[in-house]
Amino acid sequence: MRCLKLGGGAVALLVCGVLSSSIASAGGIEFGPPQEPARARSAPKKPPAATLPPAAAPAREDALPETVNRAPTATSPLPKSSDPPLGAPPPVPAAKSTTSGMPPPPAPANCRNTGRYEAWLAGFRKEAEAEGISRRAISSALDGMTLDQSVIARDRKQGFFAQSFLDFSAKLATGNRIQSGRAQIAKNRATFERVDKEFGVPASVITGFWALESDFGAGMGKLPILRSLATLAYDCRRGPTMFRDELKAALRIIDRGDMTAQTMIGSWAGEIGQTQFLPTRYLEHAIDYDGDGRSNLFANAADIIGTTANYMVHLGWRRGEPWLEEVRVPDKLAWEEADLTIKHPRSKWAAWGVERADGRALSADELPASLLLPMGRYGPAFLAYANFDVYLQWNQSLNYATTAAYLATRIDGAPAMSRGRADIAVLSDTDARDLQRILAKRGFDVGEIDGKIGLKTRQAVKTMQRKLGLPADSYPTPELLTALRGGG
């Protein structure tokens, strides 16, 4: 997603997915990072028009490695009718594409709103109408709209993502979700087989996101999406850079007739459906995959599966390639090579003593991969392939991305990962924030001081580890924090 929510659940979090009121889902607004220009590969082949319905249908912390290859924007593969039916509202002007790259970083959580919400809303209504959105849609969505302070509070208190990878994954990549994912694959086998043929996205990958974002529909949220979007669009933290466009996209969805203001019910983060699409993602990537004349991401499994695959191809999914593989690492390694910005052929990792999780030799081929050590050299170890970059575009949280990718391998039949040494030290939230403050004072860009150890913080940690002569595995330890506090 994403946006992802990030996923969904009982702890309210905001991804290309969102948590509900508990940890039932993993969503939250930990969206993917801005994209650096990369040499684009050819766009994946779209499904042949003959296999798709003939009616017009709806169109949906840290910088990623420069090695990421993204496919050109993949629009809906559905054919569009050239003439609107009699009595239909006039066409809604297309919004500028907002899903070719991830949104900019949010403002600090302690930013303050200025100006009355009512005055802001009045100005927004005029702006939306000037951009071609009908008065009918604007009125149906925004008449009587009030601010929801609880949404602002939730966005600024997303502590769930600050947990260690082991704690985070243990709560989300559960046995129940593994079994439910396999059950969904069996239940929707024909649709998944079609998706695999037309998009090349494995069923386990789609069900992994589906499970984390909403537990297959159980945790989509029950709040008015438009009120959430209007609140976030006004708020200083994300509104000016992101949610203004999301609110306009929601109005266009209403204008187009896909939904009404009353049927837009979902998460506090304003996301739509069972895999938690923001309105801009819905507009550009939602498809009617079963040919019933509409794209329904709330209750239609075929549309949910097809749309999720369509969006992942847009993000650059590579057909037939792996995404994440658990491995064993030797006691001694050039730990500075364990970095998502560094990719080596799998044969090189094998030559350095990296093995499969069961002790067998890695394939000695040229497939590029990064060594990912989410808990440092003593914790779980993975080879992250090019498709793992798609996970980081879905949701910028490294914990979420790794957990979602790991869950997909478990749904595919992989055994539970090794948890590494039992005594791996984990910084408290207070210490993690202190570490970020110290690094920021030393000139490092660690993003927001929020206690979440993302890719920027890990890069800074690695630099300081090398400077201090510590194993440069990018994992923040109490030893490193003590050295930094002492002026090291």
CATH number for 130: 1.10.8.350
Query: What whole-number distance in Å separates Cα of residue 86 and Cα of residue 184?
Result: 40
Q: Which residues pair with 326 in a beta bridge?
A: 382
In a domain, residue 131? The reply is yes
Split at pLDDT 50, 70, 90, the class of 423 is: confident
pLDDT value at residue 106: 81
Last residue of a domain, one of 262, 293, 315: 315
Residue keyed to tokens 């739509």: 272
State the average pLDDT over residues 458-469.
94
Helix or strand (DSSP H, E) at 27: strand 27-28
Q: What are phi and psi of 50, to 5 degrees?
A: -65, -25
Range in 27-36, 42-51, 432-441 the model is least confident about:
42-51
**CA separation (Å) from 382 to 173, 412, 435?**
16, 16, 25
Split at pLDDT 50, 70, 90, the class of 102 is: low
Q: 217-234 pLDDT, tens per residue? A: 999 999 999 999 999 999
Of 297, 311, 216, the C-alpha closest to 25 is: 216
Range in 312-326, 338-352, 376-390, 424-438 the model is least confident about:
424-438
Residue keyed to tokens 């920027």: 456
Please state, rounded to an integer, the average pLDDT across all residues of the chain: 82
Split at pLDDT 50, 70, 90, the class of 8 is: very low
pLDDT at 151 over 90: yes
Query: Is residue 355 helix, strand or coil?
Result: strand
Query: What whole-number distance in Å separates Cα of residue 177 and Cα of residue 183?
Result: 10
Residue keyed to tokens 């949104």: 103
Of 80, 125, 363, 96, the C-alpha closest to 245 is: 96
pLDDT value at residue 392: 94
| Cβ(93)–Cβ(132) below 8 Å | yes
pLDDT at 62 over 60: no
pLDDT value at residue 422: 82
Residue keyed to tokens 């809303």: 121
Last residue of a domain, one of 249, 282, 315: 315
In a domain, residue 296? The reply is yes
Choose between 315 and 2: higher pLDDT.
Answer: 315
Helix or strand (DSSP H, E) at 406: helix 398-411
**CA separation (Å) from 125 to 122, 129, 132, 248, 347?**
5, 6, 11, 10, 58
pLDDT at 43 over 50: no
In the chain, the largest separation of any two C-alpha atoms, in whole Å, equals: 74
| Cβ(95)–Cβ(252) below 8 Å | yes
Q: Cβ-count burial of 238 within 10 angstroms (0-12 exposed, 13-18 middle, 19+ buried)?
A: buried
How many C-beta atoms lie closer than 10 Å to residue 144's C-beta? 5
In a domain, residue 114? The reply is yes
State the average pLDDT over residues 60-87.
31
Query: What whole-number distance in Å separates Cα of residue 239 and Cα of residue 34?
Result: 17
Domain extent, residue 451, equals: 429-485
Judgement on whether residues 290 and 439 belong to the same structural domain of the protein: no
pLDDT at 174 over 80: yes
Judgement on whether residues 247 and 111 belong to the same structural domain of the protein: yes
| Cβ(261)–Cβ(141) below 8 Å | yes
How many C-beta atoms lie closer than 10 Å to residue 404's C-beta? 31
Query: What whole-number distance in Å separates Cα of residue 409 and Cα of residue 282?
Result: 27
pLDDT value at residue 96: 43
In a domain, residue 171? The reply is no
Q: Cβ-count burial of 110 within 10 angstroms (0-12 exposed, 13-18 middle, 19+ buried)?
A: exposed
Query: What whole-number distance in Å separates Cα of residue 401 and Cα of residue 392?
Result: 6
Judgement on whether residues 309 and 441 belong to the same structural domain of the protein: no
Q: 250-296 pLDDT, tens per residue? A: 999 999 999 999 999 999 999 999 999 999 999 999 999 999 999 99
pLDDT value at residue 64: 30
Q: Tokens representing 380?
A: 């779980």
Query: What whole-number distance in Å separates Cα of residue 186 and Cα of residue 233?
Result: 40
Range in 14-23, 317-326, 417-426 the model is least confident about:
14-23
**CA separation (Å) from 17 to 128, 261, 276, 390, 439?**
26, 20, 5, 14, 30
pLDDT value at residue 333: 96
Q: How many CA atoms lie within 13 A of 468 on its CB side?
A: 23
Query: What whole-number distance in Å separates Cα of residue 399 and Cα of residue 419?
Result: 15
In a domain, residue 100? The reply is yes
Last residue of a domain, one of 315, 349, 372: 315
State the average pLDDT over residues 195-223.
97
Q: What torsion, rounded to 10 degrees, do the Cα atoms 160, 274, 224, 107 define?
A: 40
Percent of the chain at pLDDT > 90 equals: 69
Residue 58 contacts by C-beta under 8 Å, 6 or more apart in sequence? Answer: 76, 253, 256, 258, 282, 283, 286, 287, 288, 294, 295
pLDDT at 185 over 60: yes
pLDDT value at residue 159: 54
Residue keyed to tokens 């800074």: 460
In a domain, residue 409? The reply is no
Look at the chain and report how many structural domains it folds into.
2
In a domain, residue 377? The reply is no
Q: Which residues pair with 10 in a beta bridge?
A: 22
In a domain, residue 357? The reply is no
| Cβ(66)–Cβ(289) below 8 Å | no
Judgement on whether residues 310 and 444 belong to the same structural domain of the protein: no
How many C-beta atoms lie closer than 10 Å to residue 302's C-beta? 21
